[in-house]
Amino acid sequence: MRYISLILLLLCFTQYAFAIKPERKLVANTLSLQNTIKSLMTEKIQPKNTKTDSIKCTLTPQEKKIAKLTYPSSFYEYYNALLETNRVDMDIAKLTQDLLTESIRHNNTPSLLLALQLYFSKQCERCEKVRDLSMFDYYRDKNATMQKILFVEGGSFEKSYALLGEAFLCRALSKKDKEDYLMAYSNLMMAGLHTRAINALLQGIADTNDDILYATLQFLVSFDNVIAKSESSAYFLRILRIQGRHSFANIMALPYFQNLEALEYDVASNFILQTLLLRDMEMGRILSPFDMFANKQTKREFWDKMQHYRQIIQTGNTSIMQNAKPQELQTYINILQLKKRLKSISSYPFATTLYQ
């Protein structure tokens, strides 16, 4: 009887050991994935910033295949808001603001990007819903899940802003289509891939000479964002358009475009970090590094503020990741690794990168 009890005890222990082994393996795998993400978050990238004749597609055939490319039902809301914003003699109509905000509900990435830019630069009061629709403050929510981190990157890897932006760019370079270039620009900007987004936009203007892309460029030049604000250059762009002389050669002849740079941040950054800085620039808390009155002190203040927001977001993400599933963590790693690859590109035809 005594031996039977020992055998049963040994059997129970063996079953327990086999049951706990997969659990320990899962925990170890989760910690490994979390550490990989932390490493990617803190990695600094410094491209060589050399000029090349053209921008090139970097996706593998498999990445192109899995990218789920879809187009908004209409670009009218985006284009109409742009045209009204670019006029210096009027504010954006309330109806235009409402139409722009409503179009965001239908997966319209260009409209989402523009609404964020307009709202945080105080040019669209009725665009306040964009905060909730974009989950702008997710990292402050103690109950946030990993799905929210993925949501602000576009969702799954197949629908991520980084992959879609590059996939649209690959298609645009082949088909020379204005809508593909606009979708490439807007998705890359949402992903925080600013240098690539600006080059994609300028390449689109060079290939199509389309007005919606030109209006986008005119808008970007007119306020502090990821490239330098230049009211005089925005004025000349407006005059060229009115006179019908807005060829790409005439655009590139403007002094503004001779040494064009775009702000770039860390691998984990996306539209949230840039819009936080955009808000502070608009409120006068910091000066853009490109501002004509910028000096060593104001530039240091800008980068300090960037690091402050970056740390807040990173702390929130780290907390959220504690309860994430391995599959979710792996998806985030895939997105970050693609962003790292795209941020590491050193040669562009039009705009180079300004890092800290």
Q: Which pLDDT does position 332 carry in this prediction?
A: 96
- Residue 182 to residues 50, 95, 288, Cα–Cα distance (Å): 25, 23, 25
- The arithmetic mean of pLDDT across residues 128-150, rounded, is 92
Q: Which pLDDT does position 27 carry in this prediction?
A: 65
Q: Which pLDDT does position 349 carry in this prediction?
A: 95
30-44, 272-286, 320-334: which range is least confident on average?
30-44
Q: Are 82 and 211 in contact (CB under 8 A)?
A: no
- Residue 199 to residues 49, 236, 275, Cα–Cα distance (Å): 13, 20, 20
Whole-angstrom distance, CA of residue 58 vs CA of residue 77: 31
Residue 285 identity: R
Name the pTM for this structure.
Answer: 0.92
16-30, 200-214, 271-285, 310-324: which range is least confident on average?
16-30
22-36, 63-77, 178-192: which range is least confident on average?
22-36
